[in-house]
Structure formats: structure tokens, C-alpha cells
Amino acid sequence: MSVASSVHVTTPAGAVRSGIALFADARHFQIAALASLLFLHTIWFDLGASPLQPAVTITAALAAQFLCTRLAGVSFDWRSPAITGLSLSLLLRSQEPGLWVAAAVLAIGSKFLIRWNGKHFFNPANFAIVALLLTASDVWVSPGQWGSSIWLVFLLVCCGGLVLQRARRADTAIVFLGAYAGLLVLRAVLLGDPPAIPLHQLQSGALLIFAFFMITDPRSTPDRRAGRILFSVAVAVLAYRLQFDWQMRAGLFFALATLSPATPLIDRLLPATRFAWRQPVEV
């Protein structure tokens, strides 16, 4: 065999096909967006976040995923636990490193233990946040207002929009934010508040991360668009009631956790094709 015949040459078409295959999975965009936000949150803005927490949390999530996949006899995939670890690092706060590990273990464990028809119906990070808020005293959610700078809000929206365009879940975020914003505006009108108040309430980093990266999780939301619209409106209404009627600062997360068990019922009433992360590659 000649040397020339043993050398693999990548054609332009093959390179294009490989590049498309890499980005066919929306999780790559989601990881890039969340990592960028975590960098800004930890390095640029001094909001009580320590670089040690994300390192511990993400490592624990990857380790928990590896252990669970070995026990379940399935292949290990680093992308899902990386997303969970990044989300927990952005939203959950505690001074106790043991709780960082506990959050990761609870999140990953919920995917493997709380399932129906081959699908987990709790967003892993949301499940861990609610579980620890209910059981641990040294845990809180990162402050909702991360600054009202228009460019920061724009960055969050753009990053989230890019991810959702790839994951085909933009409808969920749009409906949720529209319903929630409508309730805030209605409240301001009834109370005689100026428009600046609901606008300020919407300029929340935690709200946007919740809308773009948590409630839109394809693995824990209804498969059919009509079901996702119904689900999004219900979460917005319950979150509003919990925050303003019951004075629960983490009402968003409790609302999603409370209504997530309804996903299997919605899928049963409104069946549709199950979402797959990797879409067919067409060149």
C-alpha cells in the first residue's frame, strides 16, 4: 500500500458535514451560552459567587452522571450533567460545599429515579433547587436582579434565543414570558404603579435564565406545542401567585416543580413525537 493511499484526506464537503453534525445537538449551544453567563456572573460581577462553587458543582454532576450510567447500564454523556452543573452554579447559593455536591447528586439522581414512560418530568436543576430550599437552611437562590443594564438583558435574551432556536422550544419561553409580563403589567395597572416597576421586575437575570434554560428543557416539558403553551401559561400564573400572594421569592422554581408532574398527563392527552437532541444532518 502506498503512503498516499494510507493518508485520509478530508474533503470540503466532509468538513462541512462534520461541522454540521457537531452543532446538530442543541446542547452544545446551551453549554456555550451558560458557560459565558457563568463567566460574566463570577468574574465580572461581584454577586457573591465564588469560582470554587462552579468547579465543585460541575465536577460532582459529571461524577454523579457517570456513576448512574454505570449502574443503569447505559452510555455516559457529559453534556446533560454539564448543563445541570452550570445551571446550579448560576442560580443556587450556599456557603456549605457539601450542599454544592448534594445539589448535583439530587439533580442527576432525579433523572434516573423519577421517570415515566422513559422520560424524566422534572428539570434536574430545578428539582435540586426546590429540594434543598425545602430541606436545608444555608441555601438560597441567586438574587433576581443582576443589574438593569440593557446590554446584559440583551445578552441573556440572545444567548437563550440561540439555544431555543436549536432546541425548537422558543414557543415555551415566549409564551411563559408573555404571560408573566402580562400579569406584572396588570398588577401595576390595578395598583396604580408606573410602568417602570413591571419593567424593572422583568429585568431579572434569574427570570431570564429560568425562562430560556429551565422551563424550556425538552426532556421535561410536553412534546406537543399546544401542551407546551398550556404548561407555560400555568407555570406563569402559579409563579405569579406564589411570588405576590404568598410572598415566595423562589416562586418561579416552586411553580415549575409543582406542575412538572402534569407533563405525562399532557403528553397522554396531546401525544406527539418525542424530542431528540440530535437532529438529522442534511448537507
Cα 97 from Cα 90, distance rounded (Å): 15
Residue-by-residue DSSP string for 182-230: HHHHHHHHHHT--THHHHHHH--HHHHHIIIIITT-TTSS-SSHHHHHH
**What is the average pLDDT across 128-139?**
95
**Within 10 A of 117 (CB to CB), how many other CB atoms are there?**
9
- CA geometry: angle at 257 spanning 253 and 263, to 5°? 130
Contact between 95 and 138 (Cβ < 8 Å): yes
Cα 252 from Cα 215, distance rounded (Å): 10
Which of 28-32, 41-45, 237-241 has the highest mean predicted lDDT (pLDDT)? 237-241
Contact between 55 and 89 (Cβ < 8 Å): no
- The full set of domain ranges for the chain reads 22-141, 166-269
**What is the average pLDDT across 123-152?**
82
Task: Indicate the angle between helix axes 170-191 and 150-167, nearest 10 degrees.
Answer: 140
Q: Mean pLDDT lowest for which of 142-151, 156-165, 176-185, 230-239?
A: 142-151
pLDDT tens per residue across span 170-228: 889 999 999 999 999 999 999 999 999 998 888 887 888 898 889 988 888 899 999 99
Residue 279: phi and psi, rounded to 5, are -90, 155
Q: What was the pLDDT predicted at 96?
A: 93
Q: What was the pLDDT predicted at 229?
A: 96
Q: Where are the alpha helices (DSSP H) in the chain?
A: 3-6, 12-22, 26-39, 52-72, 79-91, 97-113, 124-135, 150-167, 170-191, 196-202, 205-209, 225-244, 251-259, 263-269
